[in-house]
Copies of this chain bind each other. A is one copy, B any other.
Amino acid sequence: MPNVVDGMAPDRARRRIPDATVSRLPVYLRILGEQADERVESISSERLAELAGVNAAKVRKDLSYLGSYGTRGVGYEVGYLVYQIRRELGLTHDWPVVIVGAGNLGQALAGYGGFGERGFPVAGIVDIDEAKVGTVLGGTRVRHIDELPQIVATKRVNIGVIATPGTAAQDAADRLVRAGVTSILNFAPTVLSVPRAIEVRKVDLAVELQILSYHEQRRAGGSIHVVPGSTQRSASA
């Protein structure tokens, strides 16, 4: 039996949590936060599942990887669960991020504000284009990409965000890695080549749209060239 010293990680915390579960924990966390704001103190897997758009068994399995933090016949204490998920996700402190690329997307990300609120303050935004250097985005002055190592070192940045055009993305990644960043969120439509130790996640907006296009095309009946739009009721599922 693992001893619990101070409410901190028992053995459990060292066991690897399945990727699929890790990707859902942030969703549970947001919902639990909202529930806490509404003074809800206890929640069942059934209710949490409903709010998260998944099924209850999945919620219970997911939460069981964190430990046995529920009470049978009752449910989960919201505040405690928030604490445990935050701890597991490493959200007990802020993770400053640096954004590479001050184009449209970089500007939007810097100006978005939601990052900082959720524990990912923008420590800096850089661009290779001298013309963009000095302009202010979301309260952060754009600096030249050559200053990347300094920003990463002084602000203790572990996470880099690539918001450059596809052609510049590999260079951005190389610079981030050299500067000491160990995780990258890549918005460019490019497969990055980085050392194995670097964690990369990719968000490709065009890919998402193309997946939707596939489903639209299917419901239109495949090869038959239906004019898209307006009065569809659509297929079954």
A residues touching B (Cβ–Cβ < 8 Å)? 5, 8-9, 13-14, 17, 22-23, 25-27, 29-31, 51-53, 87-93, 95, 97, 104-105, 107-109, 111-115, 118-120, 152-153, 155-159, 180, 182-185, 189, 191, 196-197, 199, 201, 203-220, 222-223, 225, 227-237
Contact = CB atoms under 8 A, between A and B. Distances in A.
A79 to B, nearest CB: 19
Most buried by B among A183, A189, A209: A209
Nearest to A207: B26
A212 B159 contact: yes
How many identical subunits does the complex contain? 2
Contact of A223 (B9, B17, B206): B9
Nearest to A9: B223
B159 A91 contact: no
Given A120-B206, A206-B115, A214 B180 contact: no
B182 A90 contact: no
Contacts of A210: 25-26, 29, 89, 91, 118
Given A105-B112, A229-B180, A199 B213 contact: no
A182 to B, nearest CB: 6
Given A105-B108, A229-B180, A209 B9 contact: no
B89 A214 contact: yes
